[in-house]
Structure 1
């Protein structure tokens, strides 16, 4: 993939005629404009830091303050109330400093003090989350005053990171409260004997080492920006030694009903142009920070994850991986039919137009060259076990051409020109499931799974995304996809022939590639491919469109659509397996700085009581409806507790990490974190960017995304223990046979509430488990949703 003619801008050699100097003017121009872009980006970031440093105050207020102070000083009135008289002799001993200049300096200091007071006041206001727990439509006097103050102090026209310094730190929940809520959450899953044993372990934990561990966490919460996120990324994601394909990476789909063109290169050219245009906006921080949709004032969410959208690549290590972040060059790596190409997106410092990008992509499609030895399956290294990939990277990609080519992929944006078509007719099976599998794992060798995300464009023009999970969560990628699709739809478009609009103004540099992969490295590649193929073959994915009703009908029941769906999932699970399981629902904690996710334990006593009633022929509709209302209300409260930093699982996880650092064993924490999650659920956010009106454009509906079957936490706990206390044992672990640590009998369910009358479900499980079947579970979900609809509608009629 090294670009040969641009690899060296200057070279010389000694000949019989003398010194032969060769200068590539094109390469020098490329180097020059690349430097210009880099310095422009640095200056923009510096200037944005200056602006954000005083937000929500603006520098124009300083000029106004200067004018008022100087004007009133001429009228012999001191607006600073004697502040200047006190500061002047302390700052200025020289008689050359005029009194007016002294006023300017003291006024600046006074203004900076006011800025600090305003910023700290806004931060204190954002610490208040009581508004979230108040009934809809009934706002207390306290919340009304808070809303008024946040609107006044919230500022106007914020940039992406304007609110970062004002966001509160994530609090450490009270220890006893976490333990009590944990015991309540597992009560429906344990019989009396097991529950009493768990309760005894918790009491022993509270009376021994719990307070000591809690003090360390509180200390970390004072010192670190977020007491959870760094450990969560390090131990849950980067420490894993198993494949990240299927187990960690997730996928996102294109629009369901709208494919603007069936020409692969044209669609890819527009999507790539839209992505780089978004990256330019992102670098300038011109994106408005996402806020919660409410009427309570300014409630911004943390934007820190956006910083790593384009410039992150996961790097394998023998002991633990890293998430490398650096400047992304203005290039993208393209995979097509087993070959990797390097392409440029800029010429003379200007982003290429889609018609110019299309030329490069067509040159790849028309290129009939064969892949180099080992090149076709090269990306399988990122799909298999992490230790063989780490060792191969250190051995075969440490220098020479392979190092440059690998660097070109890891520092670039990755585009996959897939040679398959994904045909979806009326959003029905089997096309959706095939589409999901293609995005989740593909052929196991045609995705670079370490990249922050892979943009996949299929042969018939459909596109999708495969995203690596360690650097950010799904809402960030969902926002990116919405921005790209909106920009493509509103600003780019296609001609009548399906080709991109516009005429090329410059001739772009054509792509190049180069690898030298040894036979020994090829053996490692094929071994990783075999591991990945076995994993992919075991995935049972069922993607379905639930079109009977959507959030519009659920809202008429005066219920939360998310809580309604979670109740349906419990009914479906009970009918599928005959019992309840520990259920994970992802909730964001981005109300806090550098917040990521928290667990909502959806399988509550109330949910279980309602689910049982739906299978109880003796239960009346009134009884079932009353139980449903209680279950929904309890779920909403649990979700709000998780969002406001009062969740259970991240707190217990961090207590476990601290115990390992201190070499203190806790039977309670070990047992808590070893209980398997056999139902893992997540809702994909929709319309975060809000740049397309779905009422005017009803076909602009996303297919959502999904993830692989749920895994046990035992593997994660082993990694924590090894990395902290027993690093010397890491080479003795049989990574290939660690399937013993994986919960093979679980379901993964992702859903997206697309609009008023459509919900997409992505259900995953493993073929190897005799207890699970994604087709069966999806059918159970559909029937549970219909049964709940009938129940609620019958109660509406009675009322």
Structure 2
């Protein structure tokens, strides 16, 4: 009962002579510190809000403008062209002011207006500059004079020391492509996949749509682009994610892995303590807007939209009968921990500060040491979030809207995030051939009831000290979670650290109250719904065929020496591997970001082009020479790069067609062309996990401190999902998924095809590389001989 005694803030006793009140000094101290922290937080948020609100100017520039304007009063120069006098004559209560007071006040008001006008002028000038994308289409390493001038102007108008949200008001809106361009690119993308008869039919459908219905739908879309900050993102979130009634586990959620080779400590509670504390530090900087803005790595100057980052924490997908909603809360100070079928609420703050890593370790260890049994139905409760959405929505309405069930569910849904303390070790082990496969499946779906799939993310902690993340997809895309995870891993390893025994550093405050066990009263009917959701989810999880593959024969370093894009190199290798695996070409999805625009998310790059098909056929043709194959490779790589750039700059195909389809449904317009486009299956779905904050860890100095990236489930029943991350100069990690139920796919086999395709493409460059090496060595030997003589 010690923790119950500590939880009492005050006691009072009624006596004949009055009431005797005893206050707890510790609680009063905590209340005081919490209040101080809250006001300090509000002050910092207000200050940073002002800094971001007036960016690219600064608050101090207002004082400069005011002083400059006041100085003109004394030299009898009126730069306002009579406006100051007009303000002076129209001031309210002017009869109660002296002439000098009115003059000063009028000058200050005019100076403030001028200052605000200059801010908007700077902001819209920067927006106009950021709307220029000609630089992205230039050859790598070659910068034109116009681009150099543009880059100088962007740096000039970008101001100094920007915060995370400083550039938001200056980001341009996503443009709506022309219908003619979209249809032309669409037909070009499907030409290598269709025979002449089917292509002619598709061409007829496309031309009929363009000539009859497209103009009307396009007008509404252009109108939306003028009104909304982004004409795609809200519909994309609603119709692609939130209106889906199928399970989100495997089909939507994705995962991110821990460090590949390093485990900082093998103590589960200690590792979780450090990682959770690092996340709290990240959240504090996020709430205050103190993170550096995310810049495009290509130039290090072009800002990207940070809107999605606002919902990393305290966000939950709430199930509905027809559609889900994303609930985002602020300033919640707890997380919920799952361990062996029990749910615990852990407070993250004490005395107005975050719990220290050592304090978090103690709290998690208390949970690990708890031997209590799950309540009836509690063990598999989270399976509700893994199954179909409608049964979960109905169960939530029927069983979780009152009493202890409502209070406990509110605790989960309002938590900063969800933490699972797993009881089975996972992680990469070079001695085990399938360790990455098991690790990936654990992160992707686990036991189907030990992750809360509706939370923005579930942090997963393993008994051997490994960690990982399962993320819900509707609120943001993978780079957002990746940005947070990079910060957390670097903070954990290089700033927080551990003792020699593997514990978190710092003193342990044993006076903290124990974690609060959540209570449930689940009737038999609810338990039946839980079991049905679990069986449905388990069927999906058991069908996932996963293979993780480390390709370390070469990496980005060698590919760049071949003067080609690493992404294009890998995408063409995937096309070659796909053809060797299936003997046919298929519609291929590669994700590209559109975050150079306000509220931008993703666009599709259709990687299976006519140029890629010609290259693959040449690779499979014994009569083709390496010179011919290399020429076709370069042509296909250039085509892919151009398509990727078009997608990034708002000229992609699929989001435009998707939005035209949504408008057609609103207007009741039937379009066979749009129906056909939206029904085409993506049998090969691919995505690259970007490394965004290379400054956090020096990979050259610490080569073992590299992440393994993340992955996702297969999109098509008879297709593959492939995620890859290019790590440093000499490693590429592939995450390959498919379904066991498909007789045509095999993830391990596809991984072998990727390996052979990568090596076969490398062979095309060997004569060139060998020739360069020979010339280099010959010149070096000649130079040495000359110096010797």
Matched ranges for 1:786-797 at <5 A: 786-797=759-770
Q: Does 1:220 align with 2:193?
A: no
- CA–CA distance in structure 1, aligned partners of residues 15 and 239 of structure 2: 58
Determine which of 671, 675, 678 is the counterpart of 1:673.
678
- Answer whether contact 1:427 1:545 (CA < 8 A) is retained: no
- Answer whether contact 1:396 1:402 (CA < 8 A) is retained: yes
Which ranges in structure 2 are unaligned for 5 or more consecutive residues? Answer: 773-789
Q: In the alignment, which residue of structure 2 is the partner of 1:776? A: 749
Q: In the alignment, which residue of structure 2 is the partner of 1:610? A: 615
Instruction: Report the aligned-residue RMSD.
Output: 2.4
Q: Does 1:558 align with 2:558?
A: no
- CA–CA distance in structure 1, aligned partners of residues 609 and 313 of structure 2: 39
- Answer whether contact 1:4 1:512 (CA < 8 A) is retained: no
Matched ranges for 1:437-516 at <5 A: 437-505=441-509, 507-513=511-517, 514-516=519-521
- CA–CA distance in structure 2, aligned partners of residues 689 and 515 of structure 1: 45
Q: In the TM superposition, what is the alpha-carbon distance from 1:505 to its structure 2 partner?
A: 4.5
Residues 173-213 of structure 1, C-alpha deviations (whole Å, 9 max, x = no match) = 01100000000000000000000000000111011111000
- Answer whether contact 1:344 1:509 (CA < 8 A) is retained: no
Q: State the TM-score, normalizing by the size of structure 1.
A: 0.92
Q: 1:792 to 1:25 in 2, by over 3 A?
A: same
Q: 1:13 to 1:598 in 2, by over 3 A?
A: farther
Task: Tell which deviates more after alignment, 595-604 or 39-48.
Answer: 39-48
Q: Does 1:649 align with 2:654?
A: yes
Q: In the alignment, which residue of structure 1 is the partner of 2:274? A: 270
Q: In the TM superposition, what is the alpha-carbon distance from 1:20 to its structure 2 partner?
A: 12
Residues 427-471 of structure 1, C-alpha deviations (whole Å, 9 max, x = no match) = 862111111111000011100000000110100000000000000
Q: Does 1:119 align with 2:123?
A: yes
Q: 1:608 to 1:222 in 2, by over 3 A?
A: same
Matched ranges for 1:354-365 at <5 A: 354-365=357-368
Residues 271-294 of structure 1, C-alpha deviations (whole Å, 9 max, x = no match) = 111111111111111001111123
Q: Does 1:326 align with 2:304?
A: no
SS of 1:680's equivalent? strand
Q: In the alignment, which residue of structure 1 is the partner of 2:138? A: 134
Q: 1:777 to 1:110 in 2, by over 3 A?
A: same
Q: In the alignment, which residue of structure 2 is the partner of 1:729? A: none
Matched ranges for 1:420-439 at <5 A: 420-426=424-430, 429-439=433-443
- CA–CA distance in structure 2, aligned partners of residues 524 and 17 of structure 1: 59
Which ranges in structure 1 are unaligned for 5 or more consecutive residues? Answer: 711-742
Task: Tell which deviates more after alignment, 20-29 or 89-98.
Answer: 20-29
Q: Does 1:662 align with 2:654?
A: no
Q: In the alignment, which residue of structure 2 is the partner of 1:766? A: 739
Q: In the TM superposition, what is the alpha-carbon distance from 1:5 to its structure 2 partner?
A: 8.7
Q: Does 1:702 align with 2:707?
A: yes
Determine which of 525, 534, 538 is the counterpart of 2:530.
525
- Answer whether contact 1:160 1:289 (CA < 8 A) is retained: yes
Matched ranges for 1:17-166 at <5 A: 40-80=40-80, 82-91=82-91, 94-95=94-95, 96=97, 97-166=101-170
The size of the alignment, in residue pairs, is 764
Q: Does 1:306 align with 2:279?
A: no
- Answer whether contact 1:328 1:411 (CA < 8 A) is retained: no
Q: In the TM superposition, what is the alpha-carbon distance from 1:71 to its structure 2 partner?
A: 2.9
Q: In the TM superposition, what is the alpha-carbon distance from 1:406 to its structure 2 partner?
A: 0.7
Q: 1:519 to 1:129 in 2, by over 3 A?
A: same
Q: 1:229 to 1:500 in 2, by over 3 A?
A: same
- Answer whether contact 1:479 1:689 (CA < 8 A) is retained: no
Determine which of 744, 759, 772 is the counterpart of 2:717.
744
Runs (4+) off by over 4 Å: 3-43, 79-83, 90-93
- CA–CA distance in structure 2, aligned partners of residues 32 and 390 of structure 1: 41
SS of 2:218's equivalent? helix
- Answer whether contact 1:51 1:58 (CA < 8 A) is retained: yes
- Answer whether contact 1:622 1:795 (CA < 8 A) is retained: no
Q: 1:106 to 1:337 in 2, by over 3 A?
A: same
Q: In the TM superposition, what is the alpha-carbon distance from 1:103 to its structure 2 partner?
A: 1.5
Q: In the alignment, which residue of structure 2 is the partner of 1:231? A: 235
Q: Does 1:350 align with 2:353?
A: yes
Q: 1:271 to 1:153 in 2, by over 3 A?
A: same
Q: 1:256 to 1:460 in 2, by over 3 A?
A: same
- Answer whether contact 2:7 2:513 (CA < 8 A) is retained: no
Q: 1:559 to 1:235 in 2, by over 3 A?
A: same
Residues 82-115 of structure 1, C-alpha deviations (whole Å, 9 max, x = no match) = 5434543344672514322222221111111111
Task: Tell which deviates more after alignment, 13-22 or 516-525.
Answer: 13-22
- Answer whether contact 1:428 1:544 (CA < 8 A) is retained: no
Q: In the alignment, which residue of structure 1 is the partner of 2:777? A: none
Q: 1:466 to 1:181 in 2, by over 3 A?
A: same
- CA–CA distance in structure 2, aligned partners of residues 784 and 590 of structure 1: 32
- CA–CA distance in structure 2, aligned partners of residues 36 and 463 of structure 1: 34
- Answer whether contact 1:80 1:107 (CA < 8 A) is retained: no
